[in-house]
Amino acid sequence: MFRTIFIKLSESKRLRRVAERSAMGRRVSGRFVAGMSVADALDATQRMNALGMSVSIDNLGENVTNVEEAKESAKLYHELIDEITDRKLNANVSLKLTHMGLDVDDALARQIASDVVAHAARVENFVRIDMEGSQYTQRTLDVVRDLHSRPGHAGRVGAVLQAYMHRSQSDAEALCAEKIRIRLCKGAYKEPAEIAFQDKADVDANFVKLAKILLKSGTYHGIATHDPKMIEATIAFARAENIPASAFEFQMLYGVRRDLQEQLVRDGWGMRVYIPFGTEWYPYLMRRLAERPANVLFIAKNMLRR
Ligand SMILES: Cc1cc2nc3c(=O)[nH]c(=O)nc-3n(C[C@H](O)[C@H](O)[C@H](O)COP(=O)(O)OP(=O)(O)OC[C@H]3O[C@@H](n4cnc5c(N)ncnc54)[C@H](O)[C@@H]3O)c2cc1C
């Protein structure tokens, strides 16, 4: 029930406007968001790199409503890619196609994303296209496939699959056949029973099944979860199949299970931290609260302590 409430809250435009403009809101978001500026994201990246972790930086934002906003979002990605290169950081970028204007103009979003991927390819970096709600699944995968097939882009752009979606196994098999890198996660949106598993046990079972397909595929994929059971199952499978730690990576969100992130690095596994930054943090934060309502208490306690 809490999950549904917070996901509904994440979609409220009015609350989003109020929260993102308030000083209190910015303080609350600080637990899961690295800051408001590119410089904040780069500082956080440097800190994670020093801990032996790689990073994917996300300029927060989604569902822009006009072309200018979409172009503005893309500008920050170009700046990020240049800064990552200049500072020799171990980081790539993650973006959402609705942030690049997918709701406004499909062709424009494709062009903007293509320019970002071309930039990343020139400096031998990588762009992850995040997965959003199911109304975007097919279009997002079509864009990733299209970009990946362009000259010089192979291996420079990757997709995300959500284990709660019934279709993800066939998507995983198709993407693996094309050697497209996948980030596997459970899925953060509210989807109907016709297309998505509703019970945690079913989502978890599908996650493990998909993780095994990815690990066996020979392409470098990301296993994105904070769930110790998913991590244990992935490690057990890698060990049983003699799949080395260098063949894949774990991924976690900034500020979530930092203890587990550090433990995995100590144990010799690859760990990439997803670092979100920017002023448009509200829907992202609400989805994190949906995953773990206890985070509300956690944030409240931290604020009282300051
Ligand atoms: C790197 C990364 C990228 C992602 N990209 C996408 C994407 O593109 N599209 C998408 O739909 N979703 C994305 N997600 C979110 C994902 O789909 C899940 O909603 C989220 O990761 C929670 O699922 P879980 O696997 O951690 O397991 P859950 O079953 O939700 O949780 C298992 C355990 O993990 C811990 N935990 C989980 N979440 C939190 C939290 N917020 N705070 C504290 N502890 C927590 C708790 O101990 C919990 O008991 C991404 C997640 C990660 C880690």
Asked if 268 and 239 touch (Cβ cutoff 8 Å), the reply is no
Atom of ligand 1 nearest to the CA of 225: 25
Kindly report, residue by residue over 88-123, the tens digit of the pLDDT: 999 999 999 999 999 999 999 999 999 999 999 999
From the candidates 156, 183, 272, 288, which is the catalytic residue?
A: 183
Kindly report, residue by residue over 224-257, the tens digit of the pLDDT: 999 999 999 999 999 999 999 999 999 999 999 9
Ligand 1 contact via 31 beta carbon (within 6 Å): no
Q: What is the greatest pairwise CA distance in the chain?
A: 54
Is 258 assigned a catalytic role? no
Atom of ligand 1 nearest to the CA of 251: 1
Average pLDDT over residues 135-150: 97
Is 130 assigned a catalytic role? yes
Kindly report, residue by residue over 5-53, the tens digit of the pLDDT: 777 776 777 777 766 677 766 666 777 889 889 999 999 999 999 999 9
Kindly report, residue by residue over 253-303, the tens digit of the pLDDT: 999 999 999 999 999 999 999 999 987 777 777 777 777 767 776 666 655
- At residue 89, what is the residue type? L
From the candidates 58, 103, 130, 171, which is the catalytic residue?
A: 130
pLDDT at 140: 98
Instruction: List C-alpha distances in Å: 161 to 93, 137, 143, 265.
Output: 17, 9, 14, 24
Asked if 32 and 276 touch (Cβ cutoff 8 Å), the reply is yes
